């Protein structure tokens, strides 16, 4: 869906993915913990927002990684961060090594 052209059903579908994310965190952590009860293996998630389809004219003008940010994007980011907050004990923070 385009960032500024969407229906209520599109929004519901997109925002419902955070329920799936939280379910996946809980399920994956349970599987990892069966084989690693000392919790030496960390679980991380590297995306916590949503990406919309690029409008071709905007992609040509601004590049592939540019995205129009909307209030819907902000709500999605908040939902993702809330999942991380609720499941904080199941996730780790990854720090990049020095190069």
As a whole number of Å, the end-to-end CA separation of the chain is 38
Q: How far is CA 92 from the centre of its chain?
A: 15
**Rounded to two decimals, what is the model's pTM?**
0.79
Question: Could you tell me if 28 and 43 are in contact, meaning their C-beta atoms sit under 8 angstroms apart?
Answer: yes
User: How would residue 79 be classed by pLDDT, with cut points 50, 70 and 90?
Assistant: very high
Residue given tokens 């996730």 in the structure block: 91
Residue given tokens 């000392």 in the structure block: 38
pLDDT tens digits along 12-41: 998 999 999 999 999 999 999 999 999 899
* 65 pLDDT above the threshold of 90: no
């Amino acid at each position: 869906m385009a960032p500024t052209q969407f229906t209520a059903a599109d929004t519901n579908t997109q925002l419902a993915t955070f329920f799936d994310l939280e379910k996946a965190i809980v399920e994956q952590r349970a599987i990892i913990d069966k084989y690693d009860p000392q919790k030496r293996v960390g679980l991380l998630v590297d995306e916590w927002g949503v990406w919309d389809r690029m409008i071709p004219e905007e992609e040509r003008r601004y590049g592939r990684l540019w995205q129009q940010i909307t209030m819907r994007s902000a709500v999605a980011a908040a939902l993702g961060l809330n999942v991380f907050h609720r499941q904080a004990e199941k996730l780790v923070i990854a720090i990049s090594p020095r190069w």
